[in-house]
């Protein structure tokens, strides 16, 4: 049974050894959560990128996935997963900006159920196929503008936003369970910071983390 995804796996720069090097780099960069590291080790990043970039799939860099979009770097995926998990257990997770589905596949190993919203239909079609080939079936992809989240699938233990927003809408925060966390790049243009919002029994706390560079959140479906 040789599907396209599986048959491309397993040699040279895309081998499990390349993935292990990526994990060692993530540890050096400060990623500590063993479950996040295990999830990153389990998901083959090279099957999510365009074929021309496969050999670079385990480098710590964003890569093109078509339609002017990129797959986030391994470090950013690991960091946002670690911050979203906060060492706790995750039942429901919402991802906004699903792209090629890579982070959704990593989150699927950390949570019981993932909803991933993506505004570009072609990307979501490909993401669905890739996850099917990897036999990951706890991700629901929604082709929609995710700016205001997806209340029907919530409340969530974590919300991960993969595109930069000028501010975090209250409607999104309202979809967190008490104790739940939202991780989003906030800022306009080149100046963005990763922000972690945590829902308390009453109200929210907010922490500003490191400077980051994400593609902008865009309105509507494309």
Catalytic residues: 72
* Residue 192: CB minimum distance to ligand SAH, A: 13
- CA-to-CA distance for 96 and 107, rounded, in angstroms? 12
**C-beta of 169 vs 178, nearer to ligand SAH:** 169
Interface residue list for ligand SAH (CB under 6 A): 69-72, 96-100, 102-103, 117-120, 123, 145-147, 162-163, 215, 217-218
Neighbours of 131 (CB within 10 A): 25
Contact status, residue 201 vs residue 178, Cβ threshold 8 Å = yes
Structure-token match 């990128």, residue found: 49
Contact status, residue 178 vs residue 156, Cβ threshold 8 Å = no
* Residue 61: CB minimum distance to ligand SAH, A: 13
Sign of torsion, CA 130 135 140 146?
Answer: negative
Closest CA to 141 of 167, 158, 121: 121
Distances from the Cα of 91 to the Cα of 66, 85, 113, 143, 176, angstroms: 31, 10, 6, 22, 12
**C-beta of 201 vs 211, nearer to ligand SAH:** 211
**C-beta of 103 vs 175, nearer to ligand SAH:** 103
* Residue 20: CB minimum distance to ligand SAH, A: 20
* Residue 113: CB minimum distance to ligand SAH, A: 17
């Amino acid at each position: 049974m040789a599907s396209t995804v599986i048959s491309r796996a397993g040699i040279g720069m895309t081998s499990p050894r390349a993935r292990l090097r990526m994990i060692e780099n993530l540890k050096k960069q400060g990623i500590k959560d063993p479950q996040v590291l295990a999830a990153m080790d389990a998901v083959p990043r090279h099957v999510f990128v365009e074929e021309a970039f496969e050999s670079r799939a385990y480098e710590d860099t964003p890569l093109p996935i078509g339609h002017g979009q990129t797959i986030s770097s391994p470090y950013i995926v690991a960091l946002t997963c670690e911050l979203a998990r906060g060492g706790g257990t995750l039942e429901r997770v919402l991802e906004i900006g699903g792209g090629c589905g890579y982070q959704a596949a990593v989150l699927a190993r950390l949570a019981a159920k993932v909803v991933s919203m993506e505004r570009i239909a072609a990307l979501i079609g490909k993401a669905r196929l890739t996850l099917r080939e990897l036999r990951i079936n706890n991700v629901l992809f929604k082709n929609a503008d995710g700016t205001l989240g997806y209340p029907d699938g919530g409340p969530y233990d974590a919300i991960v936003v993969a595109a930069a927003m000028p501010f975090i809408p209250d409607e999104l925060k309202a979809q967190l369970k008490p104790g739940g966390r939202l991780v989003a790049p906030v800022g306009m243009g080149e100046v963005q910071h990763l922000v972690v919002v945590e829902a308390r029994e009453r109200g929210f706390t907010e922490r500003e983390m490191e400077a980051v560079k994400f593609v902008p959140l865009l309105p509507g479906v494309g």
